[in-house]
Amino acid sequence: MRNLPPLTMLRVFEEVAHHRSFNRAADALNVTQGAVSRQIKQLEEYLGISLFLRTPRGLTLTESGSALAPHLSEAFDQMERALQAVRVPNLRQRLRILAPPTWSARWLSPRLRTFLQRYPDISLSVTNHLDGETAGELDCRIRFGLEQAVHCHSELLVMERHIAVASPELFDGEQAPELNAHPLLHILHEGRRLRVWENWLEAMGRNDVDADSGIEFSTLDQVIHTALAGGGLAVIDRQMIERELAAGSLLPITPVEVIGPYGYWLDIAAERKGLSKVQRFQDWLGLVSNP
């Protein structure tokens, strides 16, 4: 097995070395400047050296960075030529993804434009249901869970970041609603209630609220829509309600935020790991998940 860092790091380094700018490299890669900076930092930690000097006039390559850059560019050129030599002309690849419906609608969809701009030769098929006929065609899976899957490549994308929210109509001016005055909204996962309220109340040091009371829903979207309508209070992963928080249609009850314990994982079967379309999606997810 080759001892190489993720190709994403090397691709980002090549782009920064070319532009001598994190911002211009980020624009070229359709990611944030923070994502580029993070990838460079991880590559420098992997190599144990500095690749760039930060000066008032901008970035310059170190001696090691100058030695590495042309070799990487040549390697990427050779890879591109080899792939183009065997690739069917104008072939569009279809990437089939299994993902939770709320994650797809609220996290993936707002970010997909950058993926499609970057990889116009890939067509996407995103579904939340798998049957026997299509199981063999699946390329990768986004899974909501506590830990890595076994017998496949499994990596954490993002941890949940829970906050308690309510509709503005339940606030009295700037005064947040009392927790005991409104129904608590709960989400079920695989038939069991997630303990998001218990974890949040523990972080708040509140033992005067009955976390067992309230209304249960089978999907997170039902919880969100009920909260938007003023039907109760909800503890929700803030990454799933970015638009509502920005618009002010849902307001945090307090600034307290609870990380995890659940998160979203990318699972790739061993026989799919080497496919270019899967690798591209994996690299892109790594960038947009850690801006």
Portion of the chain with pLDDT greater than 90, in percent: 46
Nearest partner of 240 among 100, 105, 111, 146, judged by Cα: 105
The pLDDT assigned to 138 comes to: 86
The pLDDT assigned to 216 comes to: 94
Mean pLDDT of 132-148: 80
Q: In which band, very low, low, confident or very high, does the pLDDT at 82 lie, cut at 50, 70 and 90?
A: confident
Lowest mean pLDDT among 64-68, 91-95, 196-200, 219-223: 91-95
Q: In which band, very low, low, confident or very high, does the pLDDT at 267 lie, cut at 50, 70 and 90?
A: very high
Lowest mean pLDDT among 82-86, 193-197, 221-225, 281-285: 82-86
Model pLDDT for residues 198-234, shown as the tens digit of each residue: 999 999 998 888 888 899 999 899 999 999 999 999 9
Model pLDDT for residues 142-155, shown as the tens digit of each residue: 999 999 988 888 99
Given a cut of 80, whether residue 168 has pLDDT beyond it is yes
The pLDDT assigned to 132 comes to: 56
Mean pLDDT of 130-149: 79
The pLDDT assigned to 58 comes to: 80
Q: In which band, very low, low, confident or very high, does the pLDDT at 269 lie, cut at 50, 70 and 90?
A: confident
The pLDDT assigned to 161 comes to: 95
- Chain mean pLDDT for the chain: 88
pTM: 0.67
Lowest mean pLDDT among 54-68, 120-134, 229-243: 120-134
Model pLDDT for residues 102-115, shown as the tens digit of each residue: 899 999 998 888 89
Residue 44, Cα to own-chain centre: how many angstroms? 23
Joined together, the tokens standing for residue 90 give 């104008």
Enumerate residues 6+ apart whose C-beta is below 8 A from 267: 140, 141, 142, 143, 149, 152, 153, 154
Name all contacts of 75-84 with Cβ < 8 Å and 24+ positions apart: 76/10, 76/11, 76/14, 83/276
8 Å CB contact between 225 and 249: no
Model pLDDT for residues 44-61, shown as the tens digit of each residue: 999 999 999 988 878 899
* Strands, E assignment, the chain: 52-55, 58-61, 93-98, 122-127, 140-145, 153-166, 184-189, 192-193, 215-217, 233-237, 251-252, 258-268
Quickly tell me which residue has 């090397």 as its tokens: 10
Question: Beta 93-98 vs 122-127: how paired, if at all?
Answer: parallel
